[in-house]
């Protein structure tokens, strides 16, 4: 039996009605998922107010409700036999209730949260591989929630608190001892991971993505900082000192920390390294001694991601032997600087879809390509428009030839989006063609590749769909690249 008052421990209740000593059979924010005896938490979304679905929730059997309202709002009509609780911030309370309902399982796990604009998925996957050599480890991120055979494909980078804690309880009961998790700034603002006690927070990079949600850069950085404000004296922050925002985060820390990066000041940094088109070798200085690694990952940004993973693993006390072995075996994450073909020329699929990611990815690859760098890219529709010209600029400045195409046009005309992107090119810039059909764009780029050229297909990575105004179609950059290469009689990497 779990009572409502157990779930609300430590929550500031503004007012209430009915008994809090009632059994709660489950908690839900979606009125359609309500089962008899559930508590319905009415979240105020950006478009919808959960309270509008109160009737549905009651019809489906909700016996209690938690909601928030603004001071000047009148209370909604709530049936007299229903227990209700008014709180200040329903999302915050949801996270606490979800954790309590599932037995605070994350308190018994060593949790690492990774935040920043780029590199989260790569670092999370690397860490999962390294931690798993010594600890049963679960992972949550853009690609979904995974533990020991259980997997749920994600639709949000940070899932809702109810889903997170349900998953964590499952993992805990199966013996899971640690968790590595991508924590997006949006997820942080919405308190989705709030009730998880992170023993480590990792900060990767910061740039202006998600500005449609966060409005200003300050707001966005503040959201990211939430993860770090909550780290206590026994916890650790792992900070990318190469990023210009690093100092702002270091200033507010109340915990122990290590910095990583290429900078001389970094606690964890490479003292010797070679980055080639087919991999990385490095000797890395750490507070526990030097460690030499070999990896098949491509590019400087990935050496940065490896540094983050090494720093976190050293803090956790994973043995050097296990760290090196896991990094050596680790294959590129699907869609993140992932080679499809590496013979006379190279074809790489990459997920970079922000100006900052494009720039650092292209700069990374520029270092290792001997001839031309040909880039296929576009910007998504119905999202932050301000990044489009910046993406155009980053692409034009860092690649030799551009095939400008569509990403997910969503509710917009692909031609308009391409125009916005092209507005970032310098006047007189000519090294590009425009091809709104992404399949044809990829074909054109690969067909023009010559010996030692590098073709990068950017923006969609692991996605296997393309979203248009009126339809969503199956679309896979890998498939298109492989088919094109096959027509050119090239053997592609079998499991790329
Ligand atoms: N450390 C890094 N710094 C800058 N760019 C990076 C870094 N690591 C990866 N990238 C680029 O960003 C892209 C996305 O990487 P990744 O999926 O690891 O990031 P993410 O933070 O999980 O992104 P998202 O918020 O979309 O889930 C990569 O394909 C690569 O081009
Ligand atoms: Mg990610």
Which pLDDT score, from 0 to 100, does residue 74 have?
Answer: 72
- Measured in angstroms, how far is the CA atom of residue 293 from the centroid of ligand 1? 21
Which pLDDT score, from 0 to 100, does residue 312 have?
Answer: 98
Q: Which residue, among 183, 142, 140, 189, has the nearest Cα to 164 in the 3D structure?
A: 140
Which pLDDT score, from 0 to 100, does residue 80 have?
Answer: 81
Q: Which of the listed residues 336, 340, 379, 462 should we mutate to test ligand 1's pocket, taking the one with most ligand atoms within 8 A of CB?
A: 336
Which pLDDT score, from 0 to 100, does residue 240 have?
Answer: 97
Hey, what's the torsion of the CAs at 182, 128, 317, 106, to 10 degrees? 60
Confidence of residue 57 (pLDDT cuts 50, 70, 90): very high
Which runs of consecutive H residues, i.e. helices, occur in 145-261?
A: 161-173, 185-189, 211-214, 217-229, 246-251
Rounded Cα distance between 312 and 424, Å, is 38
- Measured in angstroms, how far is the CA atom of residue 50 from the centroid of ligand 2? 28
Model confidence at 495: pLDDT above 60: no
Confidence of residue 46 (pLDDT cuts 50, 70, 90): low
Rounded Cα distance between 70 and 346, Å, is 57
Model confidence at 53: pLDDT above 90: no
Q: What is the mean pLDDT of the chain?
A: 91
Q: DSSP letter string over 408-468?
A: --TTS-HHHHHHHHHTTSPTT--SEEE-SSHHHHHHHHHHH--TT-EEEEES-TT--EEE-
Cα→Cα distances 7→10, 89, 101, Å: 9, 15, 6
Which pLDDT score, from 0 to 100, does residue 144 have?
Answer: 86
Which residues have C-beta within 8 Å of that of residue 474, sequence separation ≥ 6? 464, 465
Which pLDDT score, from 0 to 100, does residue 79 have?
Answer: 81
Higher-confidence residue: 285 or 222? Answer: 285
Read off the pLDDT of each residue in 438-454 and give the average, rounded to a whole number: 97
Length of the chain: 496
- Tell me, using a 6 A CB cutoff, whether residue 240 lines ligand 1: no
Q: Which residue, among 332, 324, 311, has the nearest Cα to 241 in the 3D structure?
A: 311
Confidence of residue 212 (pLDDT cuts 50, 70, 90): low
Which pLDDT score, from 0 to 100, does residue 256 have?
Answer: 98
Which pLDDT score, from 0 to 100, does residue 50 have?
Answer: 84
Question: 26-28 and 38-42 as β-strands: parallel, antiparallel, unpaired?
Answer: parallel
- Tell me, using a 6 A CB cutoff, whether residue 142 lines ligand 1: yes
Rounded Cα distance between 35 and 58, Å, is 10
Higher-confidence residue: 261 or 75? Answer: 261
Model confidence at 442: pLDDT above 60: yes
Model confidence at 209: pLDDT above 60: no
- Ligand 1 atom with the smallest distance to the CA of 302 is 8
Look up residue 41 and give its two tokens: 């938490």
Q: Which ligand is nearest to the CA of 352?
A: 1
Q: Which ligand is nearest to the CA of 309?
A: 1
- Measured in angstroms, how far is the CA atom of residue 127 from the centroid of ligand 1? 15
Rounded Cα distance between 115 and 124, Å, is 10
Read off the pLDDT of each residue in 42-48 and give the average, rounded to a whole number: 77
Cα→Cα distances 360→41, 86, 92, 283, Å: 42, 47, 35, 22
- Tell me, using a 6 A CB cutoff, whether residue 354 lines ligand 1: no
Which pLDDT score, from 0 to 100, does residue 189 have?
Answer: 63
How does pLDDT run across 473-489, given as a tens digit for each residue? 999 999 999 999 999 98
Read off the pLDDT of each residue in 117-132 and give the average, rounded to a whole number: 95
Q: Which residue, among 332, 352, 323, has the nearest Cα to 496 in the 3D structure?
A: 332
Q: Is 216 exposed, middle or buried, given 0-12, 13-18 or 19+ CB atoms closer than 10 A?
A: exposed
Higher-confidence residue: 55 or 436? Answer: 436
Read off the pLDDT of each residue in 427-434 and give the average, rounded to a whole number: 96
Highest-confidence segment of 8-22, 146-160, 241-255, 412-426? 412-426
Look up residue 106 and give its two tokens: 């994350």
Which pLDDT score, from 0 to 100, does residue 494 have?
Answer: 62
Q: Which residue has the tokens 């915990």?
A: 255
Q: Which residue has the tokens 């650092």?
A: 360
- Tell me, using a 6 A CB cutoff, whether residue 368 lines ligand 1: no
- Taking CA atoms only, the protein residue closest to ligand 1 atom 30 is 352
- Tell me, using a 6 A CB cutoff, whether residue 185 lines ligand 1: no
Read off the pLDDT of each residue in 143-166 and give the average, rounded to a whole number: 78
Which pLDDT score, from 0 to 100, does residue 232 have?
Answer: 94
Confidence of residue 356 (pLDDT cuts 50, 70, 90): confident
Model confidence at 137: pLDDT above 70: yes
Q: Are 377 and 347 in contact (CB under 8 A)?
A: no
Higher-confidence residue: 425 or 47? Answer: 425
Cα→Cα distances 239→49, 182, 202, 434, 456, Å: 37, 15, 6, 39, 29
Read off the pLDDT of each residue in 447-457 and give the average, rounded to a whole number: 97
Which pLDDT score, from 0 to 100, does residue 156 have?
Answer: 58
Which pLDDT score, from 0 to 100, does residue 496 have?
Answer: 45
- Tell me, using a 6 A CB cutoff, whether residue 350 lines ligand 1: yes
Higher-confidence residue: 245 or 467? Answer: 467
- Measured in angstroms, how far is the CA atom of residue 297 from the centroid of ligand 2? 17
Model confidence at 368: pLDDT above 80: yes
Read off the pLDDT of each residue in 6-10 and give the average, rounded to a whole number: 91
- Tell me, using a 6 A CB cutoff, whether residue 121 lines ligand 1: yes
Model confidence at 395: pLDDT above 60: yes
How does pLDDT run across 267-276, given as a tens digit for each residue? 999 999 999 9
- Measured in angstroms, how far is the CA atom of residue 206 from the centroid of ligand 2? 14
- Tell me, using a 6 A CB cutoff, whether residue 421 lines ligand 1: no
Which pLDDT score, from 0 to 100, does residue 233 have?
Answer: 96
Q: Which of the listed residues 114, 116, 120, 122 should we mutate to test ligand 1's pocket, taking the one with most ligand atoms within 8 A of CB?
A: 122
Rounded Cα distance between 433 and 414, Å, is 15
């Amino acid at each position: 039996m779990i009572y409502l008052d157990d779930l609300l421990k430590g929550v500031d209740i503004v007012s209430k009605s009915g008994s809090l000593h009632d059994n709660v059979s489950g908690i839900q924010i979606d009125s359609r998922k309500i089962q008899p005896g559930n508590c319905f938490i009415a979240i105020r979304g950006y478009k919808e107010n959960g309270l509008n679905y109160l009737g549905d929730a009651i019809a489906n059997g909700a016996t209690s409700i938690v909601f928030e309202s603004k001071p000047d709002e009148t209370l909604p009509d709530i049936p007299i036999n229903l227990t209700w609780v008014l709180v200040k911030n329903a999302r915050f309370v949801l996270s606490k209730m979800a954790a309590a309902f599932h037995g605070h399982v994350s308190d018994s796990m060593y949790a690492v949260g990774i935040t920043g604009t780029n590199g989260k998925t790569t670092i999370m996957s690397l860490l999962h591989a390294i931690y798993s050599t010594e600890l049963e480890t679960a992972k949550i991120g853009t690609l979904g929630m995974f533990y020991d055979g259980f997997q749920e494909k994600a639709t949000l980078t940070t899932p809702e608190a109810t889903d997170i804690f349900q998953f964590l309880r499952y993992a805990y009961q199966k013996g899971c001892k640690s968790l590595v998790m991508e924590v997006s700034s949006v997820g942080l603002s919405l308190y989705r991971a709030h009730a998880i006690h992170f023993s480590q927070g990792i900060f990767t990079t910061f740039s202006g993505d998600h500005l449609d949600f966060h409005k200003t850069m300050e707001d966005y950085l503040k959201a990211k900082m939430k993860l770090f404000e909550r780290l206590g004296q026994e916890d650790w922050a792992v900070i990318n000192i190469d990023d210009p925002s690093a100092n702002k985060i270091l200033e507010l820390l109340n915990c122990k920390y290590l910095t990583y990066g290429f900078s001389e000041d970094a606690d964890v940094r490479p003292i010797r390294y070679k980055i080639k088109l087919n991999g990385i070798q490095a000797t890395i200085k750490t507070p526990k001694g030097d460690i030499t690694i070999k990896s098949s990952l491509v590019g400087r940004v990935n050496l940065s991601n490896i540094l983050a993973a090494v720093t976190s693993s050293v803090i956790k006390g994973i043995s050097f032997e296990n760290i090196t072995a896991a990094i050596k075996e680790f294959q590129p994450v699907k869609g993140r600087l992932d080679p499809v073909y590496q013979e006379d020329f190279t074809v790489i699929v990459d997920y970079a879809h922000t100006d900052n990611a494009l720039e650092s990815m292209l700069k990374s690859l520029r270092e290792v390509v001997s001839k031309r760098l040909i880039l296929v890219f576009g910007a998504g529709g119905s999202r932050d428009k301000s990044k489009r010209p910046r993406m155009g600029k980053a692409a034009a400045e860092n690649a030799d030839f551009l095939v400008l195409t569509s990403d997910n046009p969503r509710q917009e005309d692909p031609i308009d989006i391409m125009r916005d992107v092209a507005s970032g090119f310098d006047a007189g810039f000519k090294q590009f063609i425009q091809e709104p059909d992404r399949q044809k764009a990829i074909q054109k780029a690969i067909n023009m590749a010559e010996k030692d050229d590098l073709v990068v297909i950017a923006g969609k990575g692991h996605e296997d769909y393309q979203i248009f105004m009126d339809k969503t179609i199956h679309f896979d950059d890998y498939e298109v690249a492989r088919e094109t290469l096959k027509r050119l009689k090239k053997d592609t990497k079998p499991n790329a």
